[in-house]
Structure 1
Amino acid sequence: MSDSQTTHRQAWRRTDDLTPGATRIKLVEEALPLPLDPTSALVKVYAVALNYRDANIANGGNPWPVIPNVILGNDAAGEVIAIGDKVKTLQVGDRVAPIIDTEYVSGREIGRSWLAANEDGVMADHIVFEETKLVKLPDHLDWISAATIPCAGVTAWSAIKGAGPGKTVLIQGTGGVSMFALKLCRAAGARVILSSSSDEKLAQIQKRYPAPPILTVNYKNSDWHEEIMRLTGGAGADIVVENGGAPSLVQSMKCTRRGGIVSQVGYLGNQDPAQLSELIPTIIDRRVVLRGINAGSKYDMEDLCAALSASETKLDDIIDKVFPFSEAEEAVQYVWEGRQIGKVILRL
């Protein structure tokens, strides 16, 4: 089934101009990839959620290759408005989001194809995907909340696997993944320690989630890992959601309990290999399991959506700011400057 009335879209593409002061992304109008393949669906997008990764790609900082003038964005929520004649799992009107690594369905695939890097992303008013790359979204969430699920949500879901009642999870930062992880940990009955370089942000989070109280640490203190050990009675955190990379990884391991898990989800700091000189002795001494988190598979996303639906979990409290689609440049800069606590959304 095709929608003959929708033939073009508006999309934000990277300019690839990295000179100081230059525009990083531009709004273009272009033809949609039509007619639809027999197993594809056309989706009208209602919300796009931004991640630090989007700002990093826009500013040329992604550590992996990016195709020229790529459409930005990997988190979106929308409605199916047309389907190919061999689509079996979707119908017009379904609320869906694409997975962010379109090669990562079951978790056993050996390839990788990331939106906004290896292929065009989702910062557009219409997108086209194979039905196998789309996941149905929880009915109880509005478009803005639902758009946070594919990247931030699935990354957090994967990062805290093993958390539960009585476990302690150290979450670094106050961005989208961190706030989603905080929500999931509290729902699972785990104790949360949150770190940030901003006392103001930490105070806001403590006020937002008063009971049970969230323990906080400012990582501007060079010995912040020792404070984590003190807060955990010398045992260390069971799981660390690690966001910094080279500047913080060894310290994160030093405050992980022996045999605990460090989930590496980001690389926000300056990636200087010299800062990893203690990595090998520390990982051996602490018997730490270091797991790289590259979001998750389609099955992981389906599991997260099922969990959110079963508990009818709301996500309004992790939304920091909503921009109109026309202000995507301002939204990307807002994220690039690290001004958010939680998720930044483009509303269409």
Structure 2
Amino acid sequence: MSSTAITQRRVFRRTDDFTPGTPKLKLLQEALPQLGPTQVLIKVHAVALNYRDANIANGGNPWPVIPNGILCNDAAGEVIAVGEKVAALAVGNRVGPITDTENISGRETERSWLAANEDGVMADHLVFDEAVLCNLPDYLDWEEASVIPCAGVTAWSALKGMSIGQTVLIQGTGGVSVFALKLASAAGLRTILTSSSDAKLQQMREMYPSILTVNYSKIPDWDIEVMKLTGGVGVDIVVENGGASSLVKSLKCTRRGGVVSQVGYLSGQDPSHLRELIPTIIDRRINLRGINAGSKHDMEDLCAALTAARTPLKDLIDRTFAFEEAEEAVEYIWQGKQIGKIVLCL
């Protein structure tokens, strides 16, 4: 085991006070977990936030979470100590954890989500087993690398199976959406982007001039508009972020035999919106697949693809905050101000 004098860490834990206007996080000084034989100690350099983090902090997560847990599952850091039986990693490696620590190959039957079933990564030091860590691309800075484990792998998994020239519908301008937009553009896909903000759509068109856009707040029947944009055929795949309120419309504007990748639930869980779900799936022969980030193998494949093309990710970051400003960063996301990713810098 490599020697280290570090025994304490700074960490933000949830207050679990869901009253509007009250602090959602508390900064603490804690003893570091003891380093096991196959574990490594990581000095964190950047933590990226997702809407999921703000939702959990405000009591909106549809799955159980541990009390007063640590938020976030996107992080990038440097290995500074290793256990005596660590074989695949060494001091100095740049790493990030997978979001579901049970999902190594994609065939596992259990799951354990960071920031939900177990503590997340909003801390200045972390201890993880080497089996749940991936090497991050060397060409990226820490902030860019931090957006890969959750948002990046989710976007990668949601687009899996696409071919050059096919059409993808991407909903919104959050972290997963903008990462999916970058991957789709790099892969030669025709992209339709939806948002309720003309300003956000305009900003995306300036970055990706070839994309088509639809403002769903101005065009309530946006699924019909998408069908028009595809000549009545429908898109090949949807990166579905809305959940119950948008799912049926997403199905209706997907070509027969196409794919809807359900990656989010921004609209809540009102079952009244799903009355047409079953007949629409059957009628359009849609493959509806749930995306829970992805496996360790998926993350390794994404990092390999990014490295091969040396794809820059700086444009995916909307704003950075200091680690001490975590409360402000969570609120920024909760209010939906971001276009892309929010990152805490340490």
Superposition TM-score, scaled by structure 1 size: 0.98
Structure 2 Cα separation of the partners of residues 20 and 257 of structure 1: 42
Deviation at 1:163, TM superposition (A): 1.8
Counterpart residue type for residue 235 of structure 1: V
Q: Is the 8 A contact 2:167 2:192 kept in 1?
A: yes
The corresponding residue for 1:277 is: 275
The corresponding residue for 2:221 is: 223
Residues 1:19 and 2:19 are matched in the alignment: yes
Structure 1 Cα separation of the partners of residues 28 and 211 of structure 2: 44
The corresponding residue for 1:327 is: 325
Counterpart residue type for residue 216 of structure 1: T
Residues 1:306 and 2:312 are matched in the alignment: no
Structure 1 Cα separation of the partners of residues 4 and 231 of structure 2: 64
The corresponding residue for 1:214 is: 211
1:138-217 equivalent positions in 2, closer than 5 A: 138-210=137-209, 213-217=210-214
Residues 1:242 and 2:240 are matched in the alignment: yes
Deviation at 1:21, TM superposition (A): 2.1
Q: Is the 8 A contact 1:11 1:27 kept in 2?
A: yes
Deviations, residues 29-85 of structure 1 (Å, cap 9, x unaligned): 100002x10100000000000000000111111111100110111000000000001
Deviations, residues 173-216 of structure 1 (Å, cap 9, x unaligned): 00000000001111110011000010110001101222xx1100
Structure 2 Cα separation of the partners of residues 346 and 23 of structure 1: 18
The corresponding residue for 1:135 is: 134
1:106-117 equivalent positions in 2, closer than 5 A: 106-117=105-116
Deviation at 1:172, TM superposition (A): 0.1
Q: CA RMSD in A?
A: 0.7
Partner of 1:248: helix, strand, or coil? helix
Counterpart residue type for residue 51 of structure 1: N
Partner of 2:231: helix, strand, or coil? coil
Superposition TM-score, scaled by structure 2 size: 0.99
Partner of 2:59: helix, strand, or coil? coil
Structure 2 Cα separation of the partners of residues 3 and 259 of structure 1: 56
Partner of 2:151: helix, strand, or coil? helix
Structure 2 Cα separation of the partners of residues 69 and 241 of structure 1: 31
Counterpart residue type for residue 314 of structure 1: P
Structure 2 Cα separation of the partners of residues 159 and 134 of structure 1: 21
The corresponding residue for 1:71 is: 70
Counterpart residue type for residue 94 of structure 2: R
Q: Is the 8 A contact 2:259 2:288 kept in 1?
A: yes
The partner residue of 2:313 within 305, 312, 315 is 315
The corresponding residue for 1:288 is: 286
Counterpart residue type for residue 218 of structure 1: N
Q: Is the 8 A contact 1:73 1:121 kept in 2?
A: yes
Q: Is the 8 A contact 1:164 1:185 kept in 2?
A: no
Deviation at 1:18, TM superposition (A): 1.4
Deviation at 1:164, TM superposition (A): 2.3
Deviation at 1:156, TM superposition (A): 0.1
The corresponding residue for 1:10 is: 10
Structure 1 Cα separation of the partners of residues 26 and 134 of structure 2: 28
Structure 1 Cα separation of the partners of residues 30 and 276 of structure 2: 51
Deviation at 1:222, TM superposition (A): 1.4
1:329-344 equivalent positions in 2, closer than 5 A: 329-344=327-342
Counterpart residue type for residue 262 of structure 2: Q
Q: Is the 8 A contact 2:65 2:115 kept in 1?
A: yes
Counterpart residue type for residue 19 of structure 1: T
Structure 1's consecutive aligned runs of 4 or more residues displaced over 4 angstroms after TM superposition are none
Equivalent residues, number? 345
Deviations, residues 95-142 of structure 1 (Å, cap 9, x unaligned): 000111100001111111100110110000000000001000011110
Counterpart residue type for residue 146 of structure 1: A
Percent identical pairs in the alignment equals 70
Structure 2 Cα separation of the partners of residues 333 and 57 of structure 1: 12
Residues 1:232 and 2:230 are matched in the alignment: yes
Structure 2 Cα separation of the partners of residues 4 and 82 of structure 1: 7
The corresponding residue for 2:90 is: 91
Partner of 1:341: helix, strand, or coil? coil
Unaligned runs of 5+ in 2: none
Partner of 1:216: helix, strand, or coil? strand
Structure 2 Cα separation of the partners of residues 323 and 225 of structure 1: 37
The corresponding residue for 1:33 is: 33
1:114-125 equivalent positions in 2, closer than 5 A: 114-125=113-124
Deviation at 1:4, TM superposition (A): 3.3
Structure 1 Cα separation of the partners of residues 132 and 163 of structure 2: 30
Counterpart residue type for residue 27 of structure 1: L
Unaligned runs of 5+ in 1: none
Counterpart residue type for residue 264 of structure 1: Q
Structure 2 Cα separation of the partners of residues 263 and 249 of structure 1: 10
Deviation at 1:17, TM superposition (A): 1.2
Deviation at 1:19, TM superposition (A): 2.1
Q: Is the 8 A contact 2:4 2:81 kept in 1?
A: no
